[in-house]
């Protein structure tokens, strides 16, 4: 019933898209994390000039589908080539690769900033007061007290976000990038064996995600040794 | 500017009507998928909470697979695999012809299965958050298992589940855009058709994004209202 | 009791909108035809959501000749053959070429049109300066077509060419220009048209009639068809209606209807209306 020979045949082809999938996911998770952290910190300041635009940015990117964002950034902005060229940005928006990374990074930055904001707020007030009583500067408090605690607290929620991003890269096939899902679609058009191809591709994503979850769980355990039961 | 208004107008030659209609399809698809997901989610949560190995193992597998595989793949798989399975089922019942699963039904099923995996986690967490004393009180009152669930546990469980369900609902609404890939003319697909036909991608994707945003905002406030109601009379710790 | 339950299940299924399609052996009374709905002017979708184009008009004409009821639906290009196989619809009329590879999986009627594949590029590009050519090369004639392809290769070296995924056009590019150009695969032809206009890609490769319709639009005034057209070989016998291998009766009926539409000039009339040239297959 199950044709193992066929799986053996298609898996190497599908894996040839893995580097692109991992590149897209890796770059956008990294860029998105830096942006998310900056946004979360900027919102701590409570200045309306900073808070309002950030809140709108977060609301827009969390309130619309990633697919719309990718299409808008790729095909939508493609219409404005003269203006983008004048601004010296066309080289960036010309390439589907960069458009995908921009869309994925902005999307994960919006979700990530909310996760990090919650985690920063969850740092006990007393610890921050203690730091200032010790004469630590705001920056030093942030670096030595607030961020280490907040980042550790954010790991479980942030690992969900990372999984969502890995899954999100599958949408890049829609703007001509041949990552794992794109290659899977190509294979189907050649073999017309949709079920087998999608099962194989699904197994690849599951493996990536399972590895990431295990790694992040291990990281969390390592960072919170006192919570481990004897 | 006039061009944009004309493209999006409700009158003849305008795409406004088509986009609004498609937004309605998106809404219907999301609501039905979410409700179906509630059924799957409740069953899977029951499985996870079971002390027996097999239901617990199956429920865990369901959650891992459908939260770990890209939703786009799940949708494609159901679209192609669903019709094959249904045809086999039809043959089993004595039918000889092919049976196709319509795109809308596939979409509802796909969203149901995907969101069920997320909803299961929400229900499980909410069940565990209900005070153990409540279960003991039910026993003391001599309520049957079903009675205690219906009258005591579920109403309290929903209180804890609503914020999580609100998040899953937002996820469902956005996932519904992926159903466009199997040809169902919902909001995203309609925007793509419009963008290609009129060669105005920016206008159409902005319009679609705005409609998604409005649906998300309005339904989000419904969830917040529900949450406020569920917690009425109770002072937050 | 059991029968009752089965009947109830069947009724429920049909109420939910599940479609039963015709049995293979009988002459069908009603069929569903699928098209892409995004391939102007062959088949496309209007603002009011209605399907229109050469193939829609032809499908209605063929159905009238066969005296059967037809429903025409739109379906994503990549989903056409898989969905036909699982029975979502009975016939594909979507500018699909009758190729040896597709014939392994599904069957086709005789061709109802022959339309070569060709390039569209910017007028001021090297290839664009060649200008429009009505030359057609048969890929079966290897020597002649190789010479034509070798003439194009240096003009396209290193260029980015857009093409619709899962099409014979893509197969052609991979086989003959795979070492010369960078290929980008799009879900629909409308999307590669948008990217040509945006300047993200240097050329598109598609059916010449579809390209001509795109280039007639004002935003494409800076672009032109260029170089010769290619037919035969991996492009197969032309554009035909795809159907399941077991539907032999339906194939016979469609073939008769197509022959009649060719003989009385209907295909010539419809194609001149929609694609401005006669694409009637010549025997």
Are A212 and A163 spatial neighbours (Cβ–Cβ below 8 Å)? Answer: yes
Are B215 and B208 spatial neighbours (Cβ–Cβ below 8 Å)? Answer: no
Mean pLDDT of A86-113: 96
Q: How many CB atoms lie within 10 A of CB C30?
A: 12
Within-domain flag for C251: yes
| Cβ-defined contact of B183 to C47 (cutoff 8 Å) | no
Q: Which residues of A touch B84 (CB under 8 A)?
A: 195
Q: In terms of residues, how long is chain B?
A: 237
How far is it, in rounded angstroms, from Cα A166 to Cα A178?
15
The per-residue pLDDT for A2 is 67
**A17-33: pLDDT as tens digits:** 999 999 999 999 999 99
Query: Do both C155 and C188 map to the same domain?
Result: yes
Look at A183-187, B20-24, B182-186 and tell me which has the smallest mean pLDDT. B182-186
The distance of B173 to chain C (nearest Cα, Å) reads 22
C47 → closest Cβ in B13, B94, B98? B13
The encoded tokens of residue C159 equal 């260029």
Within-domain flag for C57: yes
Q: Which residues of A touch C234 (CB under 8 A)?
A: none
Q: Which residues of B touch C89 (CB under 8 A)?
A: 100
Within-domain flag for C228: yes
Mutation target for A interface from C86, C94, C185, C188: give the one with most A CBs within 10 A: C185
The distance of C111 to chain B (nearest Cα, Å) reads 26
Query: Do both C181 and C231 map to the same domain?
Result: yes
**For residue A157, which of A104, A115, A94 has the smallest C-alpha distance?**
A115
| Cβ-defined contact of C197 to B102 (cutoff 8 Å) | no
Are C225 and C215 spatial neighbours (Cβ–Cβ below 8 Å)? Answer: yes
Are C155 and C127 spatial neighbours (Cβ–Cβ below 8 Å)? Answer: yes
The encoded tokens of residue A60 equal 């827009």
Within-domain flag for C263: yes
Query: Do both C109 and C241 map to the same domain?
Result: yes
Q: Name the packing angle between helices B16-49 and B201-230 (round to 10°).
A: 40
Instruction: Evaluate the CA torsion angle C122, C124, C125, C127 in order and state its sign.
Output: positive
Query: Do both C145 and C177 map to the same domain?
Result: yes
The encoded tokens of residue C82 equal 């898989």
Look at A126-140, C14-28, C88-102, C137-151 and tell me which has the smallest mean pLDDT. C14-28
Point out which residues pair with C38 in neighbouring strands.
Answer: C44
Nearest 10 degrees: Cα torsion B183, B184, B187, B191: 30
- The dihedrals phi and psi of C244, each to the nearest 5 degrees, come to -70, 150
Look at A84-88, A105-109, A142-146, C18-22 and tell me which has the smallest mean pLDDT. C18-22
The per-residue pLDDT for A167 is 95
Q: Is A163 helix (H, G, I), strand (E, B) or coil?
A: helix
How far is it, in rounded angstroms, from Cα C41 to Cα C273?
10
For chain C, what is the HEC assignment?
Answer: CHHHHHHHHHHHHHHCCCEECCCCCCCCCEEEEEECCEECCCEEECCCCCEECHHHHHHHHHHHHHCCEEEEEECCHHHHHHHHHHCCCCEECCCCECCHHHHCCCEECCCCECCCEEEEEECCCCCHHHCEEEEEEECCCHHHHHHHHHHHHHHHCCCEEEEECCCHHHHHHHHHHCCCCEEEEECCHHHHHHHHHHCCCCEEEEEHHHHHHHHCCHHHCCEEEEEEEEECHHHCCCECCEECCCCHHHHHHHHHHHHHHHHCCHHHHHHHHHHCCCCCCCC
pLDDT at residue B111 above 80? yes
CATH homologous superfamily of B16-229 equals MetI-like (1.10.3720.10)
**For residue B119, which of B162, B179, B174, B69 has the smallest C-alpha distance?**
B162
Q: Is the reported ipTM for this assembly greater than 0.90?
A: no
| Cβ-defined contact of C190 to B196 (cutoff 8 Å) | yes
CATH code at C66? 3.40.190.10
Average pLDDT over all residues of chain C: 88
Within-domain flag for C19: no
How far is it, in rounded angstroms, from Cα B166 to Cα C185?
37
The distance of C140 to chain A (nearest Cα, Å) reads 22
Within-domain flag for C20: no
B96 → closest Cβ in C23, C89, C217? C23
pLDDT at residue C15 above 90? no
Q: 5-34 in C: which are within 8 Å (CB) of B?
A: 6, 9-10, 13, 16-23
The distance of C126 to chain B (nearest Cα, Å) reads 26
Interface of A with C (CB under 8 A): 75, 78-79, 81, 94-96, 174, 176, 178, 182, 185-186, 188-190, 192, 194
| Cβ-defined contact of A192 to C191 (cutoff 8 Å) | no
C200 → closest Cβ in A94, A174, A178? A94
Domain map of chain B by residue range? 16-229
C79 alpha carbon, distance to own chain's centre: 13
Q: Which helix (H) or strand (E) holds A124?
A: none
**For residue A25, which of A207, A167, A225 has the smallest C-alpha distance?**
A167
| Cβ-defined contact of A78 to C198 (cutoff 8 Å) | yes
Domain map of chain A by residue range? 4-224
Chain C residue with minimum CA distance to A179: C185
Residue C256 contacts A, CB cutoff 8 Å: no
The per-residue pLDDT for A150 is 94
* Better-predicted residue by pLDDT, B11 or A83: A83
A79 → closest Cβ in B64, B188, B201? B201
The per-residue pLDDT for C166 is 86
Q: Which residues of B touch C22 (CB under 8 A)?
A: 97
Residue B100 contacts C, CB cutoff 8 Å: yes
What percent of chain B clears pLDDT 70, i.e. is strictly above it? 93
The encoded tokens of residue A26 equal 């890796």
pLDDT at residue C218 above 80? yes
CATH level 3 topology of A4-224: MetI-like fold (1.10.3720)
- Residue-wise over A135-161: b if at least 16 C-beta within 10 A, else e? ebeeeebbeebbbebbbebbbeebbbb
Under the banding of pLDDT at 50, 70 and 90, the label for residue B97 is low
Chain A residue with minimum CA distance to B220: A63
**C182-196: pLDDT as tens digits:** 999 998 888 999 999
Pairing between strand C30-35 and C69-74? Answer: parallel
- The dihedrals phi and psi of B15, each to the nearest 5 degrees, come to -100, 0
The distance of A80 to chain C (nearest Cα, Å) reads 8
Q: Which domain holds residue C158?
A: 117-235
Considering only CA atoms, give the Rg of chain A.
21
The per-residue pLDDT for C263 is 95
Q: Which residues of B touch C9 (CB under 8 A)?
A: 93
| Cβ-defined contact of A174 to C166 (cutoff 8 Å) | no
Look at A124-138, C45-59, C75-89 and tell me which has the smallest mean pLDDT. C75-89
The distance of B20 to chain C (nearest Cα, Å) reads 12
Q: Which residues of C touch B185 (CB under 8 A)?
A: 49, 74
The encoded tokens of residue C186 equal 């799009």
C82 → closest Cβ in A81, A186, A192? A192
The per-residue pLDDT for B95 is 57
State which of B6-10, B130-134, C76-80, C236-240 shows the largest mean pLDDT.
Answer: C236-240
Is it true that the peptide bond before C41 is cis, omega within 30 degrees of 0?
A: yes
For B137-193, what is the HEC assignment?
Answer: HHHHCCCCHHHHHHHHHHHHHHHHHHHHHHHHHHHHHHHHHHHHHHCCCCHHHHHHH
Within-domain flag for C198: yes
Query: Do both C229 and C245 map to the same domain?
Result: no
Are B230 and B164 spatial neighbours (Cβ–Cβ below 8 Å)? Answer: no
Mean pLDDT of C130-154: 89
The per-residue pLDDT for C76 is 81
How far is it, in rounded angstroms, from Cα A175 to Cα A101?
12
Q: Which residues of C touch B182 (CB under 8 A)?
A: 76, 79
Q: How far is CA B168 from CA A7, B49, B164, in A?
A: 34, 20, 6
Q: Which residues of C touch A174 (CB under 8 A)?
A: 187
């Amino acid at each position: 019933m199950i044709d193992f020979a066929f799986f053996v045949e298609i898996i190497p082809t599908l894996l040839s898209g893995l580097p692109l999938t991992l590149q897209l996911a890796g770059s956008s998770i990294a860029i998105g994390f830096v942006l998310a952290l900056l946004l979360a910190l900027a919102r701590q300041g409570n200045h309306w000039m900073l808070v309002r635009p950030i809140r709108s940015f977060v609301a827009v990117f969390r309130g619309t589908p990633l697919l719309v964002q990718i299409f808008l950034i790729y095909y939508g902005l493609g219409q404005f080539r003269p203006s983008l060229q004048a601004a010296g940005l066309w080289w960036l928006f010309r390439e589907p690769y960069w458009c995908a990374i921009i869309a994925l990074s902005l999307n994960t930055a919006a979700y990530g900033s909310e996760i990090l904001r919650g985690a920063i707020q969850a740092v006990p007030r007393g610890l921050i007061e203690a730091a200032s009583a010790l004469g630590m500067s705001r920056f030093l408090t942030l670096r030595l007290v607030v961020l280490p605690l907040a980042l550790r607290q954010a790991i479980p929620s942030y690992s969900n976000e990372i999984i969502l991003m890995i899954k999100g890269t599958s949408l890049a096939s829609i703007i001509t990038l041949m990552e794992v899902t794109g290659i899977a679609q190509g294979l189907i058009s050649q073999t017309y064996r949709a079920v087998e191809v999608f099962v194989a591709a699904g197994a690849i994503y599951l493996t990536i995600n399972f590895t990431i979850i295990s790694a992040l769980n291990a990281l969390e355990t390592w960072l919170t040794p006192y919570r481990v039961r004897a | 500017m006039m061009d944009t208004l004309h493209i999006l107008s409700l009158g003849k030659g305008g795409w406004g009507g088509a986009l609004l209609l498609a937004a309605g399809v998106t809404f219907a698809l999301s609501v039905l998928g979410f409700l179906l997901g509630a059924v799957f989610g409740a069953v899977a949560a029951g499985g996870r909470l079971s002390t027996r190995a097999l239901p617990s193992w199956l429920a865990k597998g369901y959650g891992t697979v459908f939260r770990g595989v890209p939703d786009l793949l799940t949708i494609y798989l159901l679209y192609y695999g669903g019709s094959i399975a249904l045809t086999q089922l039809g043959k089993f019942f004595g039918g000889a012809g092919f049976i196709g699963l319509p795109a809308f039904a596939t979409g509802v099923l796909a969203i149901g299965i995907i969101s069920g995996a997320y909803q299961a986690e929400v229900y499980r967490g909410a069940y565990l958050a209900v005070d153990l004393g409540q279960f003991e009180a039910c026993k003391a009152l001599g309520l049957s298992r079903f009675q205690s669930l219906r009258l005591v546990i579920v109403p309290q469980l929903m209180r804890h589940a609503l914020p999580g369900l609100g998040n899953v609902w937002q996820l469902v609404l956005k996932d519904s855009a992926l159903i466009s890939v199997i040809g169902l003319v919902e909001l995203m697909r309609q925007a793509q058709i419009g963008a290609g036909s009129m060669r105005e991608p920016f206008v159409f994707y902005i319009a679609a994004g705005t409609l998604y945003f409005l649906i998300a905002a309005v339904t989000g406030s419904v969830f917040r209202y529900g949450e406020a109601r569920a917690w009425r009379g109770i002072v937050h710790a | 009791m059991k029968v009752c339950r089965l009947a109830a299940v069947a009724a429920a299924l049909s109420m939910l909108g599940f479609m039963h399609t015709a049995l293979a052996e009988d002459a069908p009374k009603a069929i569903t035809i699928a098209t892409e709905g995004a391939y102007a002017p062959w088949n496309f979708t209007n603002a009011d959501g209605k399907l229109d184009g050469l193939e829609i008009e032809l499908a209605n004409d063929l159905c009238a000749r066969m005296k059967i009821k037809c429903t025409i639906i739109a379906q994503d290009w990549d989903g056409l053959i898989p969905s036909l196989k699982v029975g979502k619809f009975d016939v594909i009329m979507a500018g699909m070429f009758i190729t040896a590879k597709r014939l392994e999986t599904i069957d086709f009627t005789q061709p109802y049109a022959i339309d070569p594949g060709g390039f569209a590029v910017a007028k001021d590009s090297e290839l664009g300066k060649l200008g429009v050519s009505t030359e057609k090369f048969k890929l079966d004639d290897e020597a002649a077509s190789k010479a034509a392809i070798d003439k194009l290769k240096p003009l396209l070296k290193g260029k980015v060419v857009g093409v619709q995924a899962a099409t014979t056009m893509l197969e052609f590019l991979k086989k003959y220009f795979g070492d010369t150009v960078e290929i980008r695969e799009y879900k629909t032809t409308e999307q590669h048209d948008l990217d040509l206009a945006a300047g993200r890609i240097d050329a598109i490769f598609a059916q010449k009639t579809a390209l001509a319709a795109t280039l007639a639009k004002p935003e494409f005034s800076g672009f032109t068809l260029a170089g010769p057209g290619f037919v035969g070989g991996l492009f197969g016998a032309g554009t035909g209606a795809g159907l399941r291998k077991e539907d032999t009766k339906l194939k016979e009926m469609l073939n008769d209807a197509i022959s009649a539409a060719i003989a009385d000039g209907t295909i010539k009339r419809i194609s001149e209306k929609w694609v401005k040239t006669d694409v009637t297959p010549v025997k």
